[in-house]
Amino acid sequence: MQPLTEEERKRAFAATRKPEAIRKQRLPVRYHVEDFEVADRPRRFLEAFAAILKHTNYRLALDHYMRVTAKCSRCSVKCQVYVATGDTNDIPCHRSELLLSVYRRHFTVSGVLRGRILGDPGLTDERIQEMADSFYNCTACRRCHFECPMGIDHALITHLGRYILSEIGIVPRALAVSVREQLTGATGNTSAVPVAALKDGLEFLSEEMQEDKGIDIPFPIDQDGAEYLFLPAVSDFLMEGETLMGNAAVFRATGDKWTIGTGYFDGINYGLFYSDHILEQVLQKIRAEAERLQVSKILIGECGHASRSAKFFYPTFCGGKEALPVVNIMEYTHRAWKEGRLKLKPDAISETVTYHDPCNLARSGWVVEQPRELLKAFCTNYVEMTPNRQDNICCGGGGGTVSMDELRPYRTLVGGRMKADQIRATGAKYCVAPCANCKKQLRELVEEHAIDCQIVGLHDLLYKAIIFDSSVPGE
Amino acid sequence: MQAWIEFGRGPLFRLAFCLMVLGLLRVVVLTIVGIAEAYRRNSDRIVPWKAIARQTLGWLVPVRRLLGGRPVYSVTSFLFHVGLLAVPLFLAAHVRLWRGAVGFAWPALPQRPADYFTLLAIAAGAGLICGRVFHRGARALSRLQDYIWPPLLLAPFVTGYVCAHAALGPKVYQEMMLVHIYAADLIMLTIPFTKIAHCVLAPFSQAVTAVAWKFVPGAGQEVAATLGYAGLPIWVANSRSAPAAGDKKEALVK
């Protein structure tokens, strides 16, 4: 990988905010933040930290990580941010230490005693600024976790750090505004899509498909008792029509009952990136809609963080083992294909195709082979990028950073630098990235690095390969 | 000097050994209780125990993982650990001491392999120090204890090897033995309070992480209530200049 040139470094780290805003908020970060209470910040940070420790399970991880951390620096090799910047402040272990040292100083007996004896004043405003900057440089991809011989999960610490910061008002504005609309706005979703626009858009896509395939492929809306409640990243309704067409076509072919609910139709959950409280509130909205429509499964579209937040946290917040099962659309499509309910034209795509593993789907080993098997079933020229699967490299826009447009130069020049090389090396015409976040980031990335590769969703391509024959239910 | 040696390998050794065992037992118990407590607070009770076991075993026998990040350092570290465990536990002289003290012991390593393991540990330990000093990332992360530990751990190896092999005068031999014994005692005394506690804690890491990702239902609301903005959206709470009348915060921070 080419090191950052001086010019690139300047662009990646150029100021994005007015000096007055930085002065007023005393926060020299590159993402925009809404105004919040600045006075007495260290005390408020510690109060928020204490409240979180009191009511959650984080203390266990902090105690353990603090005891075992060996500072071996293996994680530095795996961090795409550190590899690009070469700034030792970007080493995952260093980032975690920012918060661990606050914990040690203020929330352990030995730390408090030592602090008193040595006259250490404890948490400073500068440290809070440093954390606010550092925790949003990380894309929360969790690749470093698999490299740590001590088993430390730096992404968990980053998540906690962001949670505490959010409790004192330090949240990237892009995330805060979206969440506000989702939880309290009139439209109830992060992209502020009104129901009327949703219906219009879906109708238009159905007409397109009618023209294309010559059959009626509907988007069922508010179907009581359907098997699946479909929740893509809401931005798909605005920007990823082809992915949605592929999703609908699969259901048309299998004949299973699915529905989009007008009460709530957004899979996005920024809580995963910065707040357990928000995470829970958004999942409760999904639960309410699932109960309203009496569905039996929750189906998340092509989106990494939406899938992970639902799959792994819906049971946590919505009923434990009795909670409705959560399925990712690629899992669903793969199973239907395996069962012979979905037929694909084996040579539908002859151009070179590669697959990008979204971190939130692949890192846990959940959705890894399914998309590959599907792609190989209808692409004649499938190539892997290296490394891949659980060891994939993040697109560079994870952890919510892709939503912050002001970070674009940073994301494309620093965060996605390794990814750009990886995509270029495959020479692929299509890079399949089944995640709304990854798609946006990778499109900006190939544009920045002038790579001739089209970023698409899995169902965009699959749509071209589906065979509708006389055995299609309803024909 | 002989009296000091006797003290070091008699009462002081027993004290250090007991403190080490008790100290490590304490952190293990705390960790297990912590895991159980976190598991109890979480409502879904869905923990991927199999995956945790697989990952834990994968790290305890890290054959496939060594060649990931920093392969040379990782292999060196692995060899260091092999020597570090083999020699103190299985050296014939040590086994004899155990048999004398507690009446039973285990099979010892023959002298020649024991020598090889000793040299391996010394060479690997020196390699680890270099791997820390000459690696930019590791240097930036390192604390004082990270620099102290490798030489401290190597001190008994070097002195032990010299005592066993070099033709030393009785005085030098005694000095060497003194360093050997007191370094070992110091190691045992400090293990539970430093990063070397990973010798018993590392097997719990995967479970700790998995359980810590299990968030507590309702905790967000509780946190809000504790911070005095229950029922208010966070952005409203944060735009207030001072807590509204009637808000009560608990004193949690010392």
What residue ranges define each of the domains in chain B, with the CATH number in brackets?
2-212 (1.20.950), 218-254 (no CATH)
Which residue of chain B has the CA closest to A105? B254
Which residue of chain B has the CA closest to A323? B44
Contact B239 A47 (CB under 8 A): no
Closest Cβ–Cβ partner in B44, B142, B227 for A71: B142
Contact A73 B138 (CB under 8 A): yes
Confidence (pLDDT) at A50: 97
Confidence (pLDDT) at B236: 61
Confidence (pLDDT) at B230: 77
Class of domain A6-171: mainly alpha
Distance, in Å, from the CA atom of A361 to the CA atom of A435, rounded to the nearest integer, reads 9
pLDDT digits (tens, 9 = 90+) for A372-421: 999 999 999 999 999 999 999 999 999 999 999 999 999 999 999 999 99
What is the band of A439 on the pLDDT scale with cuts at 50, 70, 90?
very high
Task: List all residues 6 or more positions away from B212 whose beta carbon is below 8 Å from its beta carbon.
Answer: A57, A58, A60, A61, A153, A156, B38
φ, ψ dihedrals at A33, nearest 5°: -130, 135
H-type alpha helices, B61-143:
71-90, 92-102, 111-133, 136-141
Distance, in Å, from the CA atom of A354 to the CA atom of A429, rounded to the nearest integer, reads 8
Residue B162 clears pLDDT 50, i.e. is over it: yes
**Tell me, what's the ipTM?**
0.93
Distance, in Å, from the CA atom of A73 to the CA atom of A58, rounded to the nearest integer, reads 23
What pTM does this model have? Answer: 0.94
Task: Measure A275 CA to nearest chain B CA, in Å.
Answer: 8
Distance, in Å, from the CA atom of A149 to the CA atom of B55, rounded to the nearest integer, reads 10
Judge whether A336 and A265 are in contact, CB under 8 Å.
Answer: no
Contact A317 B208 (CB under 8 A): no
A24 and chain B in contact, CB less than 8 A: no
Contact B201 A88 (CB under 8 A): no
Contact B137 A73 (CB under 8 A): yes
Mean pLDDT of A191-200: 96
pLDDT digits (tens, 9 = 90+) for A313-335: 999 999 888 999 999 999 999 99
A150 and chain B in contact, CB less than 8 A: yes
Q: How far is CA B250 from the centre of its chain?
A: 36
> Measured between alpha carbons, how far is residue A208 from residues A147, A236, A240, A470 in Å?
47, 16, 14, 21
Contact B215 A281 (CB under 8 A): no
Average pLDDT in chain A? 95
Which residue of chain B has the CA closest to A60? B34
Percent of chain A with pLDDT over 70: 99
Confidence (pLDDT) at A475: 43
Size of interface A-B (CB pairs under 8 A): 221
A70 and chain B in contact, CB less than 8 A: yes
Residue entry with tokens 């968030």: B215
Percent of chain B with pLDDT over 70: 91
Contact B70 A73 (CB under 8 A): yes
pLDDT digits (tens, 9 = 90+) for A76-123: 999 999 999 999 999 999 999 999 999 999 999 999 999 999 999 899
Where are the domains positioned within chain A?
6-171, 184-337, 342-465
Residue B43 clears pLDDT 90, i.e. is over it: no
Q: Which residues of chain B does A70 touch, with a Cβ-Cβ cutoff of 8 Å? A: 146, 195, 198
Q: Which residues of chain B does A275 touch, with a Cβ-Cβ cutoff of 8 Å? A: 220, 234
Q: Report the run of H or E that residue A353 belongs to, with start and end.
A: strand A349-355
Which residue of chain A has the CA closest to B194? A67
Q: Which residues of chain B does A184 touch, with a Cβ-Cβ cutoff of 8 Å? A: 233
pLDDT digits (tens, 9 = 90+) for A412-434: 999 999 999 999 999 999 999 99
CA atoms within 13 A on the CB side of A53: 23
Percent of chain B with pLDDT over 90: 70
Task: Measure A63 CA to nearest chain B CA, in Å.
Answer: 9
A473 and chain B in contact, CB less than 8 A: no
Restricting to A residues 372-431, those with a Cβ less than 8 Å away from any Cβ of B are none
Percent of chain A with pLDDT over 90: 95
Q: Which residues of chain A does B218 touch, with a Cβ-Cβ cutoff of 8 Å? A: 280
Q: Which residues of chain B does A168 touch, with a Cβ-Cβ cutoff of 8 Å? A: 238
Residue B1 clears pLDDT 90, i.e. is over it: no
Average pLDDT in chain B? 89
Distance, in Å, from the CA atom of A264 to the CA atom of A252, rounded to the nearest integer, reads 22
Task: Measure A142 CA to nearest chain B CA, in Å.
Answer: 12
- Which of the residues B73, B209, B214, B240 would you substitute to probe the A interface, choosing the one with the greatest number of A C-beta atoms within 10 Å? B209
Task: Measure A34 CA to nearest chain B CA, in Å.
Answer: 9
Which residue of chain A has the CA closest to B142? A71
Is it true that domain A342-465 has CATH number 1.25.10? Answer: no
What is the band of B62 on the pLDDT scale with cuts at 50, 70, 90?
confident
